Amino acid sequence: MPRGSRLSVAGDKAVLAIAAVPDSGDVYQGPVTLQSWRRSADGTWAGPQTPAREEIPLSNKGAGDRYFYRPGFVVQADAPPNFVPVALTCEGQKWIKVLRVAVAAA
């Protein structure tokens, strides 16, 4: 899984990791694919699955210094057993998308 992955516990058994994976190596410079991985009962990770792709770079929450930048997506840490809510916004846009990333059966 890439650096910056967010973890979520769906129900009381499923753990998902969700990350913004850039095409160009930088989430602020080009298209980004949101990917998810699921942790199985034996501790291995399955995936990635691709729940969404954005052609516009994700927004950043920086304060002028690249070490404070955060990709413009949020993953709910504690989720229902069948999906994980994810909210995201892209650079220069005045909208927020809310995705429901399905929790596939293990």
Residue 93 burial (10 A CB sphere; 0-12, 13-18, 19+) = middle
pLDDT at 92: 77
Give the list of residues 6+ apart from residue 44 with CB closer than 8 angstroms, or none: none
30 inside domain: yes
Q: Which residues of the chain have pLDDT under 50?
A: none
Range of the domain at 13: 6-102
Neighbours of 49 (CB within 10 A): 15
Q: What is the pTM of this model?
A: 0.78
20: closest CA among 81, 63, 75, 80? 75
Neighbours of 32 (CB within 10 A): 27
pLDDT at 56: 79
84 inside domain: yes
93 inside domain: yes
Give me the number of domains the chain comprises.
Answer: 1
47 inside domain: yes
1 inside domain: no
44 inside domain: yes
Residues 83 and 73: their CA atoms lie apart, in Å, by 16
The one-letter code for the residue type at 81 is P
79 inside domain: yes
